[in-house]
């Protein structure tokens, strides 16, 4: 059980790094007009508020995943998020983030922007937490988020450089989301009621298929969108 808990923590941290990379950019843009002595306060308070709000959302998401069909819907959404993560980016909307002219305005901007961008994080983290012991799920979520905060806020450039140097990291992240999606779907309350509890072979098999589906779908879409230069 301990191994499974640490596996869930590792998944939560990886999800936050891969899906939360934009948060560091948003934080920087929101605080760019603050006086230098207030910028770190804006970063810390804005990040703290965003994390607290995200934990609250995840607590509700973990509970709601016990409702029939919600894991199936959540898994389908994770498939889409995983594929989207692997596709080439089309433009950049960071310029639309307004810079705060006061500390409270910057903090408010960070919290609101994080709320808008956190749907994918919340669903993915809730799905990862579902694989741990029910009594430890919320604690693992909080621990994973706390560990990922300094990585996102202070280590974002290092992470971005690592991803640019080793693109396989992104593909691993997309496969991870597909893995979680497949596991979520086969353990949905409705599926368990209709077919009975699934054994580890079925659960891990569904997770593996989910990972392969995300990778395959992304490769197919990339191949279709890349212009053919052979002719």
User: What are the tokens at 44?
Assistant: 């810390």
Residue 208: the pLDDT is 94
Write out pLDDT tens, residues 143-169.
777 776 666 666 555 655 666 677 787
pLDDT greater than 80 at residue 213: yes
For residues 214 and 77, what is the distance between their CA atoms, to the nearest angstrom?
A: 11
Best CA proximity match to 94, nearest among 22, 161, 163:
22
Give pTM, 2 decimals: 0.67
Q: Evaluate whether 76 touches 186 at the Cβ level (below 8 Å).
A: no
Q: What mean pLDDT comes out for the span 175-202?
A: 86
Q: Is the pLDDT of residue 178 over 80?
A: yes
Give the separation between CA 219 and CA 87, rounded to whole angstroms: 8
pLDDT of residue 212: 96
Nearest to 99 by CA among 45, 154, 35: 35
Rounded to an integer, the average pLDDT of 39-56 is 77
Average pLDDT value for the chain: 74
Report the C-alpha gap between 165 and 197 in whole angstroms.
42
Q: What is the pLDDT of residue 3?
A: 45
| Residue 53: burial class (beta carbons within 10 Å; 0-12, 13-18, 19+) | middle
DSSP helix/strand/coil, 157: helix
Share of the chain above pLDDT 90, in %: 7
Q: What integer is the mean pLDDT of 185-199?
A: 85
Task: Give residue 26's pLDDT band: very low, low, confident or very high (50, 70, 90).
Answer: low
For residues 46 and 153, what is the distance between their CA atoms, to the nearest angstrom?
11
Rounded-to-integer distance, Cα 44 and Cα 106, Å: 11
State residue 146's pLDDT score.
73
> Is residue 220 pLDDT above 90, yes or no?
yes
Most confident listed range (15-19, 69-73, 217-221)? 217-221
Hey, CA dihedral for 10, 15, 21, 26, is it positive or negative? Answer: negative
In sign, the C-alpha dihedral spanning 230, 83, 213, 11 is positive
């Amino acid at each position: 059980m301990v191994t499974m808990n640490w596996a869930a923590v590792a998944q939560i941290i990886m999800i936050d790094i891969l899906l939360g990379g934009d948060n560091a950019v948003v934080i920087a843009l929101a605080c760019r007009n603050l006086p230098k002595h207030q910028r770190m306060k804006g970063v810390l308070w804005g990040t703290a508020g965003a994390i607290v709000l995200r934990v609250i959302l995840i607590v509700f998401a973990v509970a709601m995943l016990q409702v029939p069909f919600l894991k199936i819907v959540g898994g389908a959404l994770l498939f889409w998020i995983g594929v989207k993560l692997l596709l080439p980016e089309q433009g950049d909307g960071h310029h639309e983030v307004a810079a705060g002219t006061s500390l409270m305005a910057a903090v408010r901007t960070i919290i609101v922007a994080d709320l808008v961008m956190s749907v994918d994080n919340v669903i993915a983290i809730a799905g990862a937490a579902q694989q741990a012991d029910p009594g430890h799920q919320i604690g693992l979520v909080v621990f994973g988020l706390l560990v990922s905060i300094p990585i996102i806020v202070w280590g974002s450039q290092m992470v971005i450089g690592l991803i640019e140097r080793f693109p396989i990291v992104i593909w691993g992240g997309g496969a991870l989301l597909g893995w979680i999606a497949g596991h979520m779907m086969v353990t949905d309350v409705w599926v368990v009621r209709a077919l009975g509890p699934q054994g580890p072979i079925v659960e891990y098999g569904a997770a593996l298929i989910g990972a392969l589906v995300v990778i395959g779908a992304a490769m197919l879409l990339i191949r279709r969108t890349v212009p053919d230069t052979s002719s």
